[in-house]
Every structure is written in C-alpha cells, then in structure tokens.
Structure 1
C-alpha cells in the first residue's frame, strides 16, 4: 500500500511544512469479521496517491493535542478482497458499494504522549470514520514504536458495529448463515519519515 502522508504543521511555524511519510508496501489495512459458521478477513488492496496533511498545535510531547485538517484516507470499497468472489459480492452489497463506493478514515487529533522510542508507546487518536455514507466519531488507541531514525511502526485495531453505520449484517442460505454485527479494523503500518 504505497502512499505518502505529508502533514503541514507548526513544527517550524504555521506556514512551513512538517515531515512527510511513506507507508511501506508491506503495510496492511484489514477488516475482520465473523458469522455463525466461520471468520473472514477483507484486505485492502488499494494503492494511494500522495495526500497532504495539515496540523496545528505545538508538536512537542506534553499536555494537549495535535489537531489535523484534510487528513482523509479514502478507501475504495470494491478494492477490499475477502478471499473469494462470493464473499466479496456480499461484502460490497452490505457496505452499499454502488451507492457509496468509498469509505473514509479521517484523523482529527492526537493526544500528546511520550517521546516515541524503540519501545511501544500508545497514542490516543480521534477519528471520523465514514462507511456506507454514514459517519461516526471514533476514538482509536494506536501503538507506535521507532524502528530506526527514519522508520516507525504503527499498529491499531478498532472494533465497530455494522449497524452503527446503517449496515444490515448479511445473511445467506435463506438465513442459515448469519454475519455477526461486530467487525474490527486492523492496521499494521510501517512509516518511512522523508523529512
């Protein structure tokens, strides 16, 4: 999933740019779910264009938060792969892909925490997630660690309910197979700091 994440911040001042990041192609973004008979994983196979980020606030550890603008990660629903054509069709239908072909994850703010080092650090983020045309404010706790001086790893997972986004969990075989309401978004991202 190669794409650039640049955010314009107040590290050097309000009109100067902050660091940019490139997400390693080996990074993953998945949606996990289950039914009364099995589990499933839908993997995002989308490649992304560079996306500018803008931020405000003092980007130093301490109290308060970093606020972001224009930080929408847009995901094409029909570029999720659940492993077979039947499951893909059910997934796209449940998420109303024809009516709402895109999902979005928008980073709004991050609560300031400790300096990021080789040990895992947990950061509290505030996001706006849009699925099937319905948006909800969603807090996500992400684990971050520094792999090298120019590389970070970010891991996060967030349980959601499909019904919170107006999605009816799909059924099959005249209702004998029922998809559970609970899904989980999993992210495992390697960020290359470009400066």
Structure 2
C-alpha cells in the first residue's frame, strides 16, 4: 500500500504532462552565402555595417519542439562578435564600437525563442527572438520568409530603437551630424543542416 501511495503522485504528474511533445536537436551551419547587416541613417548620410559571415563558421546546436504551427526553441543562440562588423571606414567603425560599448560588451547575442508558422501564407512565419546588446536584452517579434531547397534560406528585417538598450547615438561635428536612434537589421541566412 505504501508503495502505491509513492507511485500514484508520479503517475498523476506524468498523465498531465505533454507526453507527445519531444525535444529535438539539430546542428546547423550558416554558410558563406549568407548576409547580415545593420543599416542606419543620419541627417547627412546613411550607413551600412556588414557582418563578416566567415566569423560564423562554427556549427550551432538548436533544440526545439513542434506543436502544430508553433516551434519553440531552447538554447538556440547566435553570437555575433562586434569586431565582425565592418561599416566601411576606420572612423565609422570606431563610432560603431563606441556606440555598442564593445570594450565592455564585445558581442551581440540573438536567441531564437519561438516560430509561429502562418497556415494561410506559405513560407511566412513570425519569429520571437531575444536580442542582447550592451548587456541589455529585449524581445522582438519579427516576420520572416523561409524557403527550402538543399539548404534553408531565411530572410528578415527588424527595426529597433537603440535607446531600448540604453545606447545613445553619436553626434559629430559639434552636434551638426546626428545619427538616428532607429536602426534596421537585415539578414539573408543560408542555413545548412549538418
């Protein structure tokens, strides 16, 4: 009888858990055909900081579970070294790293949390991601396009305000050149399953 009393709570707990949900794991690699850039504007000139994709040559392990049209991820992280961004010149690179406080926070971290597939629009999904910049993390919902042939092609754009990360846009030439607080992250990722 005592043994039954010990096993009964365990059986009740198991019966209410998601028995049909399975955590899957895959290793993926971002190929050199990929592109990732940050675009910004100022009252004088627009700028683009291109990420050197060859810095992402390490395989990335992703963990996920799929439940109908929702895929939830755990520990699925993309780390971007700030030094991997090239904004086109020594001066603007220095300003970019100053803005990101690269000496204290040398990387940007993107954590994929969830993807909601759109059953009414083929190849469209809403992704929930956490972005950590300069030690602060914010969550963003973004629309993505995805296609599969031999590899996955994932396209997306995300506008964000740098003030959400307690960053202040640099001002140049005694405040005559002012950089906008809004930036846009554009990506075209070609992802290969290992």
Distance, in Å, in 2 between the alignment partners of 1:95 and 1:42 is 13
Indicate whether 1:165 and 2:165 are aligned. Answer: yes
Q: CA RMSD in A?
A: 2.2
Which secondary structure state, in structure 2, belongs to the residue aligned with residue 98 of structure 1?
A: coil
CA positional deviation for 1:20: 3.8
Counterpart among 67, 72, 75 of residue 70 in structure 1? 75
Structure 2 gaps, min length 5: 1-19
Indicate whether 1:186 and 2:191 are aligned. Answer: no
Distance, in Å, in 2 between the alignment partners of 1:50 and 1:192 is 10
Distance, in Å, in 2 between the alignment partners of 1:75 and 1:134 is 15
Distance, in Å, in 1 between the alignment partners of 2:119 and 2:146 is 10
Residues 102-138 of structure 1, C-alpha deviation per residue, up to 9 Å, x if partnerless? 11110001113349xxx96110010100111111011
Indicate whether 1:141 and 2:143 are aligned. Answer: yes
Cross-structure match for 2:66:
57
State TM-score, norm by structure 1: 0.81
CA positional deviation for 1:191: 2.1
Which secondary structure state, in structure 2, belongs to the residue aligned with residue 55 of structure 1?
A: strand
Q: Is the 8 A contact 1:126 1:138 kept in 2?
A: yes
Q: Is the 8 A contact 1:114 1:121 kept in 2?
A: no
Q: Is the 8 A contact 2:26 2:63 kept in 1?
A: no
Cross-structure match for 2:133:
131
Q: How many residues end up aligned between the 2 structures?
A: 173
Cross-structure match for 2:95:
90
Cross-structure match for 1:113:
118
CA positional deviation for 1:45: 1.2
Cross-structure match for 1:176:
176
CA positional deviation for 1:69: 0.8
C-alpha change, 1:45 and 1:120, in structure 2 (3 Å) is: farther
Structure 1 gaps, min length 5: 1-11
State TM-score, norm by structure 2: 0.81
Cross-structure match for 2:6:
none
Which secondary structure state, in structure 1, belongs to the residue aligned with residue 180 of structure 2?
A: coil
Cross-structure match for 2:14:
none
Which secondary structure state, in structure 1, belongs to the residue aligned with residue 96 of structure 2?
A: helix
Tell me which stretches of 4 or more aligned residues in structure 1 moved more than 6 Å. Answer: none
Distance, in Å, in 2 between the alignment partners of 1:71 and 1:18 is 10
